[in-house]
């Protein structure tokens, strides 16, 4: 079982930045797929950014160029650097890892004011 703990959410103004962290209980370098998802009020959870084998990245089109997913194996931590934030980025952000099953963090709230 992999436990994931997110941090770094908060309230930020339009155009601001936040950096989310997700610390894993296990050796993160052994996890092939790690992602960030988000869920806005009234919407389904959506994939924001994904990292496969530590190097292959995917970004949702609306965040491409503004968000960066990265990993620090020494700290067992996945990051999501979010720049140029917009009100539509407001959501609860979840860290996800896939081993043989899905593992989810508890989520961290990001609120962007206009």
Q: Kindly tell me the burial class for residue 100, based on how many C-beta atoms sit within 10 Å of its own C-beta (0-12, 13-18, 19 or more).
A: exposed
In whole angstroms, what is the distance from residue 81 CA to residue 86 CA?
Answer: 14
Pair 77, 54: CB distance under 8 Å: no
Give me Rg for the CA atoms of the chain: 13
In whole angstroms, what is the distance from residue 48 CA to residue 55 CA?
Answer: 16
pLDDT-based confidence at residue 1 (cuts at 50, 70, 90): confident
In whole angstroms, what is the distance from residue 28 CA to residue 100 CA?
Answer: 14
19-70 residue pLDDT tens: 999 999 988 888 999 999 999 989 999 999 999 998 889 999 999 999 999 9
73-100 residue pLDDT tens: 999 999 999 999 999 999 999 999 999 9
Which ranges constitute the DSSP H helices of the chain? none
Q: Region of 28 please: left (phi>0), alpha (psi -120 to 50) or beta.
A: alpha
**pLDDT score for 7:** 96
**pLDDT score for 22:** 98
Length of the chain: 114
For the chain, the distance separating the N- and C-terminal CA atoms, rounded to the nearest angstrom, is 40
**pLDDT score for 25:** 93
**pLDDT score for 113:** 97
Q: Is the pLDDT of residue 6 over 90?
A: yes
């Amino acid at each position: 079982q992999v436990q994931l703990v997110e941090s770094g959410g908060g309230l930020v103004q339009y155009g601001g930045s936040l950096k989310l962290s997700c610390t894993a209980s296990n050796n993160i370098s052994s996890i092939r797929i790690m992602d960030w998802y988000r869920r806005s009020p009234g919407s389904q959870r959506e994939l924001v950014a994904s990292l496969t084998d530590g190097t292959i990245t995917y970004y949702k089109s609306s965040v491409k160029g503004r968000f960066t997913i990265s990993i620090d194996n020494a700290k067992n931590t996945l990051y999501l650097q979010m720049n140029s934030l917009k009100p539509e980025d407001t959501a609860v952000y979840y860290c996800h890892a896939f081993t043989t099953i899905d593992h989810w963090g508890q989520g961290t709230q990001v609120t962007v004011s206009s």
